[in-house]
Amino acid sequence: MTTYKAINLIKRPEPGPVTADIFDVVEKELPKAGSGEILIKQTQMSLDPAMFGWMSPDTESYIPPVELGSVMRSSGVGKVIESNHPDFNEGDRVMGMMGWQEYALSNGQGINKVQADVPDETVLSVFALPGLTATQGLFNVGKPKNGETLVVTGAAGSVGSIVGQLAKAEGLKVIGVVGSDEKANWIVNELGFDGAINYKTSDLRDQLIKLTPEGIDLYFENTGGPIQNLVVERMNAHGRVVVCGMIADYDKEVPSPGPSWIPVIKKRLTIQGFTMPDHFEEIPSLLSKLTPYVMSGKIKYRSHILEGLESAIEGLNLFFTGENKGKLIVKL
């Protein structure tokens, strides 16, 4: 009997770091693809901060929680090793929701063929969730204009680093907020951001004023945290705030209070949240917007690769410590 490993979610996480006891590593018998099904050998899987929401019991969110006792939800890249599905052939390279498991049986729903001849890391770091989120959030929500000033938080992360580079390519002035000097150097010296602020240093207000002498037109929010109030205070009239993520609050029992709404009135700000599952139908058009920037070398990225299925469990905590340098990926 051929077996493979999978990881089930068996408890909801408590506030604070993720602990291994909420997961169960199980050994399963390798299934056969039935009629209309494909069997995929997953090669790399993506870890994403969204997983904290998916593990929580919240049924009011944009996607139902992962059911206890079932395989932890995640996206990944893999190869079709058996197909009884008219749209897939053995050997096809595919991406989609496959879960924390070495093999995935699927009816093809939510699984797409990978057309581009690029490494798995590039697929997951650029063309999958990070690049799609950056493209949707920046262009369709933020509506950037040449000459404007953008502040992006989580700026060395997988979404934030692409947001900043796309905005630079569109002629904006781009300031990134990060949690270490190493990340600050990377976004300025390697990615070409105009400035960086390490939110773990003091005098955040002074740094922000110095780096945004003409105020802020566009705020791409990935994290929350102490910089948020300061940025909202410095927004220009008719500024836009794109609310993509609030990782500073994901492990907290009580989220931090938000900024005052008074500047929202005075500056006539637009604040808009978005989540990618609403836009999965638009993936082809998002990819056609993103791809030329990537192909012309305007988008650099780095991937942080962990080895082996079980490394996903501890890996989740790297998001909170900021030890992930780039897109977190588990190689299987």
Contacts with ligand NAP, 216-255, as mask; x by CB under 6 A: ------xx-x------------------xxxxx-------
The answer to whether 129 contacts ligand NAP (rule: CB under 6 A) is yes
The answer to whether 319 contacts ligand NAP (rule: CB under 6 A) is yes
Contact in structure between 200 and 322 (CB atoms under 8 Å)? no
In whole angstroms, how close is the CB of 272 to ligand NAP at the nearest point? Answer: 11
Residue type, 31: P
Among 44, 158, 165, 207, binds ligand NAP (CB under 6 A): 158
In whole angstroms, how close is the CB of 320 to ligand NAP at the nearest point? Answer: 5
DSSP secondary-structure letter at 62? S
Contact in structure between 100 and 6 (CB atoms under 8 Å)? yes
> What tokens appear for 254 in the block?
């009580």
331 has which bridge partners? Answer: 44, 307
> What tokens appear for 305 in the block?
């690769």
Contacts with ligand NAP, 165-184, as mask; x by CB under 6 A: -------------xxx--x-
In whole angstroms, how close is the CB of 247 to ligand NAP at the nearest point? Answer: 4
Alpha carbon of 181 to those of 187, 246, 291, 304, 323: distances in Å? 10, 21, 30, 18, 12
Residues composing the chain? 332
In whole angstroms, how close is the CB of 134 to ligand NAP at the nearest point? Answer: 9
Contact in structure between 212 and 149 (CB atoms under 8 Å)? yes
Nearest 5°: phi and psi at 287?
-65, -35
Among 156, 175, 241, 286, binds ligand NAP (CB under 6 A): 156
Contacts with ligand NAP, 136-155, as mask; x by CB under 6 A: ------------------x-
Rounded CA separation 159/181 (Å): 19
**Helix H or strand E segment including 189:** none
Comparison of 164 and 322: residue with beta carbon closer to ligand NAP: 322
Residues between 264 and 303 that touch ligand NAP (CB under 6 A): 274-276
Residues that bind ligand NAP (CB under 6 A): 48-50, 129-130, 133, 154, 156-160, 178-180, 183, 199, 222-223, 225, 244-248, 274-276, 319-320, 322, 324
